[in-house]
Structure 1
């Protein structure tokens, strides 16, 4: 659609990757970062650590080998009977619980690399609900008498995810020698993640940058900004000929 609009209006077009929009979204904040920095891209579909030296100059340091952090939030929340999207609901429930109530795994925390894995955490949450006899039991999950235990499970789940994200981010900063980190994506709005990362970085003299809360989730402003930054950095817009490449299904040579 964008290609067609650009062609019909005689305008150039520049394609922007969705993750690049998230990556550069903190530049819209009141406290924008400066290059270079380590970026933690953390959302429902992605969990990545990147070294960012400039617009278009990205080095992948580590990523999830299975579920993303946001996916772990949403799937765990669904197991607990919480509505979708489950991440914010789980975080609110966690405020009433104890983070040390359930012993949950911290996957790949000591893997020796910067990759992530959250599928095992989701399985652990499921296992606890099976032991409680509440899995796939809406009445049990909604029972007010069970809410304190569910709050503890939510708090323990959130704590496990936040600890892995914080410690892997610190490891990336140590590996690169950089003193600045950017957190972007929907999970970047999580209060516990921000609190723990802020505290850890203050102790180490590291600057932390986030997009404004309303810009953490998918939005058009971050895509427009990424395009503008690409143009400003000298990466010219694609021409009409280079983007509108029609491939007919049938051979038209004889027409």
Structure 2
């Protein structure tokens, strides 16, 4: 008998709902919040209010597109954290209410685990190849940068992570310094395609092991622009493409140096990419080029499953359902990273 899972994602500024039949996606709806663009970043209070407005219509659309009645859902999976507490509370509260109303189990999902589990989403009439265990996953987003050893659908170990800022944050903060609108990461990626990645050199951290650091890069970038603007007030505008290309190349180099080291030491040839920054075309291309020299088999998710979405929550919920890994209704969301 098939299992039907409803997934809810509300960790930041995207309200999303997804319906799964076993490990196959039937619908995946996302409501974005453009209100934050005027502020140069996500405003938590505005985000939580928008989630309250969006969550019922989004769930309704997901159920209708999947042609699944609420009473047919076997369990509801929701993002418990990490994320913005106000946003998480909206999704958590809805999930608890839906579970109580329909007398079905409640499944909590770690947002970071879910990004990795996006690699196990199946689609109707589409044969998707999944990584085999164990594999390494480079998880890069606005709030996290990690190298994760994935041993099974439910067992994962962080072998390296940022000790300060994340790669996605570095993209967005440096974009803001250049006067680019939020979110800056996708725009840097676009401008970098017409720039010279070797035009400028920026600071790279010297961190032992597989850990990352991006705070020094941001400082290096800021001071470089400050000094150049003293000489030429139009420096950014005249060199925007080269600045974006050089910055992007530096961030990618930092990420892949540690990934290459971890893969070699752990003798892993299956390499996956996940998280919002995995949508970056420069990172995707560089990973595939490196894979050819290292004899890696790489797995890169569809763009729809890179940013925050409920499909990754639902597929994680499916595997937890198979293990009867449910949670009680007194569970509270958590805002900080817990892996």
Question: Under a length normalisation based on structure 2, what TM-score does the superposition of the two structures give?
Answer: 0.65
Shift of 1:246: 8.7
In structure 2, the CA distance between the partners of 1:151 and 1:220, relative to structure 1 (3 Å rule), is: same
CA deviation digits over 1:26-67, x for unaligned, max 9?
222623211110111100000011111102211110100111
Q: Does 1:192 align with 2:285?
A: no
In structure 2, the CA distance between the partners of 1:231 and 1:120, relative to structure 1 (3 Å rule), is: same
Runs of 4+ in 1 over 6 A off after TM superposition: none
Aligned to 1:122: 218
Question: For the Cα contact (< 8 Å) 1:76–1:125, is it kept in 2?
Answer: yes
CA distance in 1, matches of 2:245, 2:183: 17
Unaligned runs of 5+ in 1: 135-139, 248-255
CA distance in 1, matches of 2:304, 2:177: 27
- What does 1:232-247 align with in structure 2 at a 5 Å threshold? 232=322, 235-238=323-326, 243-245=328-330
Q: Does 1:17 align with 2:110?
A: yes
CA distance in 1, matches of 2:162, 2:98: 36
Q: Does 1:35 align with 2:125?
A: no
CA distance in 2, matches of 1:244, 1:213: 33
Unaligned runs of 5+ in 2: 1-92, 123-127, 333-339
RMSD: 1.9
Question: For the Cα contact (< 8 Å) 1:4–1:244, is it kept in 2?
Answer: no
CA distance in 2, matches of 1:165, 1:122: 15
In structure 2, the CA distance between the partners of 1:70 and 1:226, relative to structure 1 (3 Å rule), is: same
CA distance in 1, matches of 2:241, 2:263: 33
CA distance in 2, matches of 1:113, 1:237: 34
Question: For the Cα contact (< 8 Å) 2:271–2:296, is it kept in 1?
Answer: yes
CA distance in 1, matches of 2:170, 2:250: 10
Aligned partner of 1:70 among 168, 175, 179: 168
Aligned partner of 1:112 among 193, 203, 208: 208
Q: Does 1:51 align with 2:158?
A: no
Larger radius of gyration: 1
In structure 2, the CA distance between the partners of 1:66 and 1:227, relative to structure 1 (3 Å rule), is: same
CA distance in 1, matches of 2:331, 2:283: 46
